[in-house]
Structure 1
Amino acid sequence: MLFDLPDFKTLYAALLARDDRFDGQAFVGVASTGVFCRLTCPARKPKAENCTFFATIGECIDAGYRACKRCHPLQAAALADPAIGALLQALDGQPDRRWSEGDVARLGYDPSTIRRSFKRQFGMTFLEMARQRRLREGFTALAEGAKVITAQHEASFESASAFRAAFARLLGCAPADLRADALLRATWIPTPLGDMIAVSSHTHLHLLEFVDRKALPAELRRLQAAARQPIGVGAQPPSDQAAAELADYFAARSSRFTTPLAVAGSAFTQSVWDALRTIPAGQTRSYSDIARQIGRPSAVRAVARANGANQIALMIPCHRVIGADGALTGYGGGLWRKQRLIEIERKLMILNKEIAS
């Protein structure tokens, strides 16, 4: 099953408080208006007697409700904000531009409001996101064999030291240290939910993380220490396979991942990761569910730690683990991503059921 909805009192309190812990996990149908909303909807709150709570969008539609035009429950929460959508579109149109708060203001938006909105939804500001996009261009150039100075220009960094510093913060080494013949090589994979870094050997994928994950530099350092040499740059067969499978996943064509994975952890940790991979797309489990599944019902906290130690995102689906009360819990890639991933997978589940019938 997906998960059991909390009781009415808990959900109605979450609706009144616009509690984002249940965003994407529960929806409210309002009898007096005939619409269904996210619990974080900014519209005036309905009376309790007019509310019915549902676990999925499909249930809301089946019950005869139509989507709210304020909170756009059919869209990812982040993209429901018109200002965010417009700026993301502008960034896509000019990825190599050195964006500034002045540019944001000239587009008609208050820079401080935009800064808070992006930080809340993406864990980074719009300017940080734009800088990351430029860094992707430099990374791609290096992967194609370009010299560092060429990569710096591709990334639109005027200062060589700034380019080196930005690169070092991301990969833990200077761009000149990257080797094309390294055992482990990193490649950059763009996705609709943000760019990802994949690190693989010739035979296995060792890491797959969103670029803005705070733990990424430490994870890369551990991989480098294990390999006893710096991580190189360039595609390998497993990272190419991962990119193709991720494209199918985000297009809601397939949730099946067959890329060979190299996982390093204790026997307990690997048992947790194995359990995560048995959760069907479109469904969720709690930490206590996983603990019971692996035969360690009292090890809930240890399961949570193992879940957080996963460094192969999506393919080892730690995003499918939620709180016992159905609330979204911590996710290294950001709760907004966790909510969107669950939505994507529920869409996949519905499509698979339609095909089967």
Structure 2
Amino acid sequence: MNLQTTQLPPHAEMVRAMLERDTAYEGVFFTAVRTTGIFCRPGCTARSPKPENVEFFANADDCLSAGYRACLRCKPLDAAAIAPDWVQRLLTSVDADPELRWTDAQLQAQGIEPLKLRRWFKQHFGMTFHAWLRTRRLGMALGGIKQGDSIDSAAFDSGYESLSGFRDAFQKSFHTTPGRAAHSEPLLFTRLTTPLGPMIAMAERRGLVLLEFLDRPALTREIEALQLHHGYAVAPGHNAHLQQIEEQLAAYFAGKLTEFSVPLHMPGTEFFRQVWAELAKIPYGQTTTYGAIAAILGKPGASRAVGLANGHNRLSIVVPCHRVIGADGSLTGYGGGQPRKACLLRLENAKTQMTRQLAF
């Protein structure tokens, strides 16, 4: 019998998540198939086994202790689900020659199946490889324009043969014209890997603006709002804030960090910012309620409004909206999915309890 059952979601829910390959359960549980002796992540793309042949474990160590081998497809021992070697080699080639326009024939010559690459990028970046390449080139053009390059030179340096084509692509990607972009704030984004699945981080010069799980349903709307209402030009890239959150997030999941210090920039209404500020004050390993936050803000009847602001928090984990629970102790909603919320709270509770034990 699995001794970790009390830490797992309901059995029927795990079966559903396994059959539907629900990535919201990444890191929450693992599936182990008795007939093959192999264990997988819940989002594994291999053919789903019969539920009666499966048992569930809370962590990979338990699977190994029970005699199961790691799946070669989903690689459950790679908790962060890092990019496979063939993707890493391709990204290295893109960095070496960023202006190269990769064709399917060139990809195949490198031993890369275009359809497989398309699927991987859609899953981990939310766009195809070719769309990512276009956005990347346009991001470089944006950087050039911000540094004073002419629109003509930015267009041709990006590989566009006509100014009209460049302008159309630029406006479609950044929701602004190249001329106006010279005065806009670049918002750089990168993909981060975590034990609970891939995340996207976005930062500008003042700090981290967004940190969300890639499969969050509201993610597209959040990014569009940042572009349309706050004037950001979004492009792939990296800066010191993104580097810092990558390091701190890894330390958090390793149980070595309880408070984030990465600078934040959180555009929003005054009330939303007040709620987010209170969220940031919730201590590691503790929880509160919407009503308690409303009372602190001097608006005891505003629990629903606090819940709305909580749902609009763009900085998952760093601004810990997962520490807000229902008045009856229920987990309530969470943009990254309730399974992830439960897992984050378990992580923090385990660390807190260990610290207390060591203190005695």
TM-score bucket of the superposed structures, by smaller chain? 0.5 to 0.7
Higher relative contact order (CA 8 A, sep 6+): 1
Identity among equivalent pairs (%): 27
What is the match of residue 56 of structure 2? 52
Counterpart of 1:138 in structure 2: which amino acid? Answer: A
Q: CA deviation at 1:128?
A: 0.7
How many Å separate the matches in 1 of 2:263 and 2:209? 12
What is the match of residue 166 of structure 1? 169
What is the match of residue 244 of structure 2? 245
1:148 to 2:162 alignment? no
What is the match of residue 309 of structure 2? 306
How many Å separate the matches in 2 of 1:130 and 1:76? 27
How many Å separate the matches in 2 of 1:320 and 1:93? 43
Q: Deviations over 1:234-275 (max 9, x none)?
A: xxxxx9763452353366486622425454335367425632
What is the match of residue 268 of structure 2? 264
What is the match of residue 30 of structure 2? 27
How many Å separate the matches in 1 of 2:107 and 2:28? 33
The SS at the match of 2:78 is coil
Q: 1:316 aligns with which of 319, 324, 329?
A: 319
How many Å separate the matches in 1 of 2:69 and 2:335? 30
Kept in 1: contact 2:175–2:233 (CA 8 A): no
How many Å separate the matches in 2 of 1:327 and 1:100? 47
Q: CA deviation at 1:213?
A: 4.3
Q: CA deviation at 1:27?
A: 1.5
Kept in 2: contact 1:138–1:154 (CA 8 A): yes
Kept in 1: contact 2:187–2:202 (CA 8 A): yes
The SS at the match of 1:75 is coil
Kept in 2: contact 1:171–1:217 (CA 8 A): no
Counterpart of 2:164 in structure 1: which amino acid? Answer: S
The worse-fitting range, judged by mean Cα deviation, of 121-130 and 293-302 is 293-302
Normalising by structure 2, we get a TM-score of 0.63
Counterpart of 2:227 in structure 1: which amino acid? Answer: L
Q: CA deviation at 1:127?
A: 0.9
How many Å separate the matches in 2 of 1:195 and 1:148? 29
- Superposed CA RMSD: 5.1
Kept in 1: contact 2:290–2:304 (CA 8 A): no
What is the match of residue 228 of structure 1? none
Give the alignment of 1:194-209 within 5 angstroms.
197-199=202-204, 205=207, 207-208=209-210
Counterpart of 1:45 in structure 2: which amino acid? Answer: P
Kept in 1: contact 2:187–2:204 (CA 8 A): yes
1:218 to 2:222 alignment? no
What is the match of residue 95 of structure 1? 98
Q: 1:40 aligns with which of 35, 40, 43?
A: 43
Normalising by structure 1, we get a TM-score of 0.63
What is the match of residue 236 of structure 1? none
How many Å separate the matches in 2 of 1:31 and 1:327? 34
Q: CA deviation at 1:135?
A: 1.9
Q: 1:139 to 1:196 in 2, by over 3 A?
A: farther
Q: CA deviation at 1:95?
A: 2.9
Q: 1:300 to 1:49 in 2, by over 3 A?
A: farther
The SS at the match of 1:152 is helix
Q: CA deviation at 1:172?
A: 3.0
How many Å separate the matches in 2 of 1:81 and 1:43? 20
How many Å separate the matches in 2 of 1:192 and 1:22? 17
What is the match of residue 188 of structure 2? 188
Kept in 2: contact 1:186–1:197 (CA 8 A): no
Kept in 2: contact 1:172–1:221 (CA 8 A): yes
How many Å separate the matches in 1 of 2:270 and 2:192? 33
The worse-fitting range, judged by mean Cα deviation, of 305-314 and 165-174 is 305-314
How many Å separate the matches in 1 of 2:20 and 2:54? 17
Q: 1:168 to 1:257 in 2, by over 3 A?
A: farther
The SS at the match of 1:294 is helix
Q: CA deviation at 1:38?
A: 0.9
How many Å separate the matches in 2 of 1:192 and 1:151? 29
Q: 1:9 to 1:251 in 2, by over 3 A?
A: closer
Kept in 1: contact 2:230–2:267 (CA 8 A): no
